[in-house]
C-alpha cells in the first residue's frame, strides 16, 4: 500500500535522461561509458536499474562498493573513486579489474605492498588535482582553498605518483578529472579535458579518460548533453586522442534529479498573524537535508475555490525552519490534500536522516503503474544492530 510521505520515481523520465546522455556522447565518441554516481541517490532499486540498463557503478567507499556488488554489478563494471576507499575493497577491486582511480600516496603504498608477484598485470587510474579555480574564477566549490581530491599536478605529486607506480610495475592507464563546481559550465569541462590531454603522455598506455560528473541534465536554459559532448570531444580530437580511448562520464544529478518527486499530505493547519501555517506528514529533511532553500517547484491537489493570501507549507519535525513552500494567493489547502515537490532525486533520499521519523517509502511510476520499491522503515529496522543490555 502506498502511503505518504513518499518519493515517486517517474521511470520514463529516468530512461529519457539516460538515453539522452548516452546518445549525445556516443554519437560523437563511440567508445563511451557512463558510471552512475551512487552517492547522488543510492536507492538500491535505482542502482540495480542502472546496472540492467548498461551503466557502470561509480562508487566512493567500501559501503558503496559492497552495494554495487550486491545489486549485481560485476567488479569489472565498477568505477572506484574517493579519498577513503578502505584497503580491503581497494585491493579486491584492483585485483578483479575494476576501474580504480587512486587518490593519495597511501593507496599507492598499500597496493605496492599487498599486490602479489604478478604485479605487472594490474592497472589503475589516477585522479588529478589542479588549479581549476584560477582558470575558472568563482566556479569551483573550494574557491581559493586547495581541492581535496587527487594528486596535485602543480606541486609534482602527480608525476611522483606515476613514477612510484611505474617503478613497482603497476600500469597507469587512465586519468580521472572530476571536479564539483557551482556552475557546471562548458568552460569547466573544456579546461578539465585540456588538462588531462596535457598529461596523457605520462601514462603507460591510455585506456580511458574519465571526466567525472557534475553536469546539468534536462534543466531548461542550462547546457545540454549535446553541448557537453561536443565541447569535450572536440578537444579530444584536436589533441589527437585515439578513438580507442574510452571516454567516461560519471553523472549523478543529471540523470536522477528530475525523475523524482516527493509527495506528502496536509495533516493540520493554523492561522497566525495573517499567515496560514500548513502542516504536512513530510519534511524539508527529505527534500534538502541541508535546508538551504524553500524554492521548489510543486503542485497540489487542492480543489478549493477559496484563495488564501499566504500559506506556508511545513513539515513534521520540531525544527522551526522545516518550511519548504510558500504559496501566495493560491487555493486553500485542505486536510488530506497532497503536495508534490518536483526534482527531488539528487542528494535528497541519500542524505535524508533518521531524524524524528523513519525513512519514507519509495514508489516507482512505470507508465502509470505504481510499484513500491522501498517499504517505509518501521521500529524494527530502526532497532536493528542496537544492543539494549544495560
Query: Quick one: CA dihedral 211, 65, 182, 125, positive or negative?
Result: negative
- For the chain, how are helix, strand and coil distributed in percent, rounded to 5? 30, 25, 40
259 part of the interface to ligand PLP, by CB under 6 A: no
| SS3 label, residue 64 | helix
CB of 41 to ligand PLP, least distance (A): 9
- ω into residue 252 within 30 of 0, thus cis? no
Quick check: 81 binds ligand PLP (CB under 6 A)? yes
> Hey, which residues between 146 and 205 contact ligand PLP (CB under 6 A)?
178
Closest contact distance (angstroms) between CB of 83 and ligand PLP is 10
- Is the sign of the CA dihedral 212, 217, 219, 220 positive or negative? positive
Q: 233: closest CA among 186, 277, 165, 290?
A: 186
Task: Mark 275-314 with x for binding to ligand PLP (rule: CB under 6 A) and - for no binding.
Answer: ----------------------------------------
26-34, 88-96, 150-158, 251-259 -> range binding ligand PLP (CB under 6 A): 251-259
**Please, which residue, 173 or 214, has the CB nearer to ligand PLP?**
214
Beta bridge partners of 57: 36, 78
Say whether residue 212 binds ligand PLP (CB under 6 A).
Answer: yes
Q: Which residue is listed with cell 510521505?
A: 5
Q: Using CB under 6 A, which of the segments 36-44, 114-122, 326-334, 369-377 binds ligand PLP?
A: 36-44
- Give the shortest CB-220-to-ligand PLP separation in angstroms: 18
Q: Is 214 a residue that touches ligand PLP (CB under 6 A)?
A: yes
Cα distances from 319 to residues 60, 235, 340, in angstroms, run: 31, 49, 21
Q: Which stretch binds ligand PLP (CB under 6 A): 5-13, 24-32, 210-218, 226-234?
A: 210-218
Q: Which is nearer to ligand PLP, 147 or 315 (CB)?
A: 147
Does 253 bind ligand PLP (CB under 6 A)? Our answer is yes
250 binds ligand PLP (CB under 6 A): yes
d(CA 205, CA 203): 5
**DSSP string across 105-149:** HHHHHHHHHHS-TTGGG-EEEEEEE--HHHHSTTTBSSTTSPP-S
5 counts as binding ligand PLP under rule CB under 6 A: no
Region of 32-40, 231-239, 305-313, 336-344 interacting with ligand PLP (CB under 6 A): 32-40
Tell me how far, at minimum, the Cβ of 356 lies from ligand PLP, in Å. 27
Applying the rule CB under 6 A, the residues between 57 and 76 that interact with ligand PLP are 58, 60
- Judge whether 73 and 98 are in contact, CB under 8 Å: no
Nearer to ligand PLP, 31 or 42 (CB): 42
- Name the E strands within the chain: 6-10, 32-37, 56-59, 78-80, 99-102, 123-129, 151-152, 171-176, 208-210, 246-249, 260-272, 275-280, 298-300, 307-314, 323-331, 338-341, 361-366, 369-374
Q: Which is nearer to ligand PLP, 81 or 258 (CB)?
A: 81
Contact status: 357 vs ligand PLP (CB under 6 A): no
Residue ranges in 317-346 that form contacts with ligand PLP under rule CB under 6 A: 346
Burial of residue 210 (number of CB atoms within 10 Å: 0-12, 13-18, 19+): buried
Q: Is 85 in the site for ligand PLP (CB under 6 A)?
A: no
Residue in 4, 37, 193, 280 binding ligand PLP, rule: CB under 6 A = 37
Residue number, 81 or 302, with CB nearest to ligand PLP: 81
Question: What gap in Å lies between CA 235 and CA 300, rounded to an integer?
Answer: 46
d(CA 17, CA 256) in angstroms, rounded, equals: 8
Which residue ranges make up the site for ligand PLP (CB under 6 A)? 37, 39-40, 58, 60, 81, 178, 212-214, 250-254, 346
Amino acid at each position: 500500500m502506498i502511503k505518504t510521505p513518499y518519493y515517486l520515481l517517474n521511470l520514463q523520465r529516468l530512461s529519457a535522461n539516460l538515453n539522452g546522455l548516452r546518445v549525445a556522447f556516443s554519437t560523437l565518441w563511440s567508445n563511451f561509458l557512463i558510471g552512475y554516481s551512487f552517492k547522488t541517490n543510492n536507492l538500491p532499486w535505482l542502482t540495480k536499474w542502472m546496472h540492467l540498463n548498461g551503466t557502470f557503478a561509480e562508487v566512493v567507499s567500501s559501503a558503496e562498493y559492497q552495494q554495487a556488488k550486491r545489486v549485481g554489478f560485476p567488479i569489472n563494471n565498477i568505477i572506484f573513486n574517493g579519498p577513503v576507499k578502505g584497503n580491503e575493497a581497494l585491493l579486491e577491486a584492483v585485483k578483479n579489474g575494476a576501474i580504480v582511480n587512486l587518490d593519495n600516496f597511501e593507496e599507492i603504498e598499500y597496493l605496492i605492498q599487498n599486490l602479489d608477484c604478478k604485479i605487472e598485470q594490474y592497472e589503475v587510474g589516477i585522479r588529478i588535482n589542479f588549479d581549476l579555480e584560477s582558470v575558472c574564477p568563482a566556479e569551483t566549490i573550494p574557491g581559493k582553498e586547495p581541492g581535496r581530491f587527487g594528486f596535485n599536478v602543480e606541486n609534482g605529486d602527480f608525476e611522483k605518483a606515476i613514477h612510484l607506480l611505474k617503478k613497482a610495475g603497476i600500469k597507469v592507464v587512465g586519468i580521472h578529472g572530476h571536479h564539483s563546481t557551482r556552475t557546471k559550465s562548458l568552460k569547466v569541462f573544456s579546461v578539465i579535458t585540456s588538462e588531462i590531454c596535457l598529461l596523457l603522455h605520462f601514462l603507460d598506455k591510455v585506456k580511458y579518460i574519465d571526466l567525472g560528473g557534475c553536469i546539468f541534465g534536462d534543466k531548461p536554459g542550462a547546457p545540454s548533453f549535446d553541448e557537453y559532448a561536443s565541447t569535450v570531444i572536440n578537444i579530444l580530437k584536436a589533441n589527437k586522442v585515439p578513438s580507442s580511448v574510452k571516454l567516461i562520464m560519471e553523472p549523478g544529478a543529471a540523470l536522477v534529479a528530475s525523475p523524482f518527486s516527493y509527495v506528502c499530505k496536509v495533516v493540520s493547519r493554523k492561522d497566525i498573524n495573517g499567515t496560514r501555517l500548513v502542516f504536512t506528514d513530510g519534511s524539508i529533511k527529505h527534500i534538502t537535508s541541508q535546508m538551504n532553500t524553500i524554492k521548489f517547484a510543486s503542485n497540489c491537489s487542492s480543489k478549493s475555490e477559496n484563495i488564501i493570501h499566504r500559506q506556508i507549507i511545513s513539515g513534521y519535525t520540531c525544527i522551526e525552519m522545516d518550511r519548504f513552500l510558500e504559496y501566495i494567493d493560491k487555493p486553500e489547502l485542505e486536510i488530506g490534500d497532497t503536495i508534490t515537490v518536483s526534482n527531488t532525486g539528487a542528494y535528497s533520499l541519500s542524505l535524508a536522516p533518521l531524524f524524528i521519523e523513519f525513512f519514507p517509502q519509495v514508489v516507482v511510476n512505470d507508465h502509470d503503474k505504481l510499484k513500491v520499491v522501498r517499504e517505509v522503515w518501521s521500529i524494527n529496522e530502526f532497532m536493528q544492530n542496537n544492543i539494549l543490555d544495560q
